[in-house]
Amino acid sequence: MNDQSMIKIAENVYYYEIPGVRSATIAFIVGSGPVYEPDHLLGISHFIEHTVFRKTRKRTLKDIKFPIEEVGGSLNAWTDKEDTVYYAKVPSSYFKTAFDILREIVFEPYFIERNVELERKIILQEYYSDMEIPEQRLFNKFFDELIDGPHSKSVIGNEKTIKSITIDDIVQFHSEMYAPYNVKVLIAGHIDKKDLEYVKKKLDLSEGIRTTKQNSMLKPGIVYDKFQETQQMHFLFSHNGISLSDEENIYGAMVLKTLLGSGMSSVLFEQIRERKGLVYDISASHLQGKEWGVFLIYAATSIENSNALVSELFGLLKNLEITKKLFDYGKKRLLGYLELLTESTSSLISLYTQYLANDLRVKTLDEIIENVKAVDLEAVKKAYEKMISGQWSMTCVTPNEELSIGLEDIRV
C-alpha cells in the first residue's frame, strides 16, 4: 500500500491522491444542521439540502444531474446533526464538470417558490414515511428522549416546521450558513495537476468564524414508543462511548466494536442470533462527535423473546472474556476492512469527512491502519471499561407492551 498524505491545496480544501484509480469523489462539507437551528426553523438545513438540487443561477434541474449521471457518476447529499455534505463521484476526466456543479449547488442556488413547495411535499412524504418505519422511530425516540443537548434535535424537523418554513427563511438561513468560511472541500481519487489549479482558482474559502462543534450527553433511562403497526420489538441499547478526539482510546474502541458486532463471526451475532436464536438482527455502532460519543447495540426480535434477549445480552456483556482469539478476529477484520476502503473513493470520503466535519486533523488511511496495528489486548480491555462496563440506557419500539425491565437489568 502506498503511503499517501492529505494535501492542503487551498484554505479549507484538501486532496487525498490515490494512484492508479480513474475516478474522483468530491465532497463539500457545510457546517449546517439542526444543532444550529432555532426551534421554529427545525429541519431547515435538510430543507435546503433538498431544494438546492432543483436550480442554480446557471443550471436547471436537468443541467445539474444529467452531466454527472450520463458518464456513470453519482450525485447526492446528506444532512447530519452538525453538517450537510454534498458529494459527487465521477470518472477523473469529468472532474471539472462535477466540481463546478457542486460549487454552484452550494454557493449559487436559486430558490423559487415553486421549487420550495415541490420539495415541501416531498419532505412531508419522507417525514410521514419515517413515522411508519420502526427502526427510524426507534432512533428518533432515542435522540428525543435520551440525548441531553443540541443533538437531540431532529434532522428532518417536525410536521409544523416543515409546513411553515418559508422561502424567505431558506434564503436567509442559506446566506448565513453557507458562507465560504463555513465550508470545507475534500477530494479523493486521482485528478490532474491542472485540475488542482482549477480548484484553487474557482474556490476562495476564506478564514472566518465557523460553526462551533457542540457536545451532548447520554441520559440514563428506559423509554418506549408504542407502535401498533409493528409485529416485532426493536431495541436500541446505549452507553457512553468514545469521542473522535480521544486519541488514547479510539483505536481500541474500533477493535472492540468490530469483534462485538461486525460480521457473522462477531460475538453478538454468533452468541445471540446463531446459538440462541433470540433475534433476527443485531449489530453494534458508535455515534461519535468531536468531544462526545455513544456506543449503540441494535436488536430486533419477537415479543416472546424480548425478556430473554435482554437477559442473555447483558449476561454476555457482563461475562465477556476478550480472549486472544477474539481480539485477533476484531483486529484482523478491522484491518482488512480498512484495506478494502482503498478500492472506493466514496468510502474514503465518508471516512475522512468525519474528521474535517469535526474540525480535526484528517488522518490518512495509512495512519489509521498503523494505529490499529499498534492496538494491544489491554487497549481493547480499557475500551470495554469505558464503552461496556456500567449503566446502559434502553429505547424500545413495541406493538403494545412494556417490559418489566429496570435500569439494574441493563447494567454491566
pLDDT at res. 5:
67
**Bridge partner residues of 282 (DSSP):** 299
Coil, strand or helix at 287: strand
Can you give the pLDDT of all 412 residues of the chain as single tens digits?
344 567 888 888 999 988 888 999 999 999 999 999 999 999 999 999 999 999 999 999 999 999 999 999 999 999 999 999 999 999 999 999 999 999 999 999 999 999 999 999 999 999 999 999 999 999 999 999 999 999 999 999 999 999 999 999 999 999 999 998 899 999 999 999 999 999 999 988 776 667 889 999 999 999 999 999 999 999 999 999 999 999 999 999 999 999 999 999 999 999 999 999 999 999 999 999 999 999 999 999 999 999 999 999 999 999 999 999 999 999 999 999 999 988 788 888 888 999 999 989 888 888 999 999 999 999 999 999 999 999 999 999 999 888 999 999 999 9
Cβ burial of 285 (10 Å; 0-12, 13-18, 19+) is middle
Q: Give the span between the Cα atoms of 185 and 199, in whole angstroms.
A: 10
| Contact (CB, 8 A) for 394 and 235 | yes
Q: Give the span between the Cα atoms of 91 and 73, in whole angstroms.
A: 7
Q: Give the span between the Cα atoms of 365 and 51, in whole angstroms.
A: 34
pLDDT at res. 207:
67
User: How does 208-223 read in b/e, with b if 16+ C-beta sit within 10 Å?
Assistant: eeebebbebebeeebb
Q: Give the span between the Cα atoms of 116 and 387, in whole angstroms.
A: 43
Residue 276 carries which DSSP code?
T
Instruction: State how beta strands 393-398 and 222-226 pair.
Output: parallel
Nearest C-alpha neighbor of 142 from the set 401, 395, 411, 407: 395
Q: Give the span between the Cα atoms of 65 and 101, in whole angstroms.
A: 9
- Cell matching residue 275: 446459538
Question: Considering the entire predicted model, what is its pTM?
Answer: 0.93
pLDDT at res. 4:
57
Nearest C-alpha neighbor of 339 from the set 371, 365, 370, 375: 365
| Contact (CB, 8 A) for 28 and 76 | no
